[in-house]
Amino acid sequence: MKIKNWGTLAAVGAAGAYLASICPRINNRPDISSFEGKVFAHRGMFGGQIAENSIEAFEKAVENGYGIELDVQLSSDGQAVVFHDSSLLRMYGEAKSVSELTAKELSEYGIPTLREALEVIDGKVPLIVELKGYTSDVSVCPIAAEILDEYKGEYCVES
């Protein structure tokens, strides 16, 4: 047999090698059936007097059986906190950056740490954890991963 197109053969070989390298991740995926057909409360169930990504919004979502999507970023003291925006402007009318405030200062606005949120949710509903990166600093990833490694509930991480 004479091979006419070495480029095509190389591409097919590379694709095969790629598929073989990811096969363990495809075959060993955890059971995600708890996510299938689930309705998720984006930033918890908020509205009225309940702020998004707050303990109250998470409690209400759990009470109603909704999965929860929440956002995680770092405070100035390296704590994983649950808040969507890079600043407090939209939610609280203050042009303060989340990354410039400590977790204690953020708690005065009702902004929880990831650990506090996970304590309340307590594995009762599945989570979608979105890691926020408003700078080139990606240290939120290992910090959130360490916290999530201790969590017994089902979750997935996105960014």
Q: For position 137, what pLDDT does the model report?
A: 77
User: What's the pLDDT band for 11 if we cut at 50, 70, 90?
Assistant: low
Determine what percent of the chain is predicted with pLDDT higher than 90.
Answer: 67
What pTM was computed for the model? 0.78
Does residue 26 register a pLDDT over 50?
no
Choice between 156 and 159, residue whose per-residue pLDDT is larger = 156
Rounded to the nearest 5 degrees, what angle is found at the Cα of 156, between the Cα atoms of 113 and 64? 70
Could you give the C-alpha distances from 60 to 23, 56, 94, 136, in angstroms and in order? 39, 6, 27, 34
Lowest-confidence region among 14-28, 60-74, 138-152: 14-28
Does residue 6 register a pLDDT over 80?
no
Active site residue ranges: 42, 84
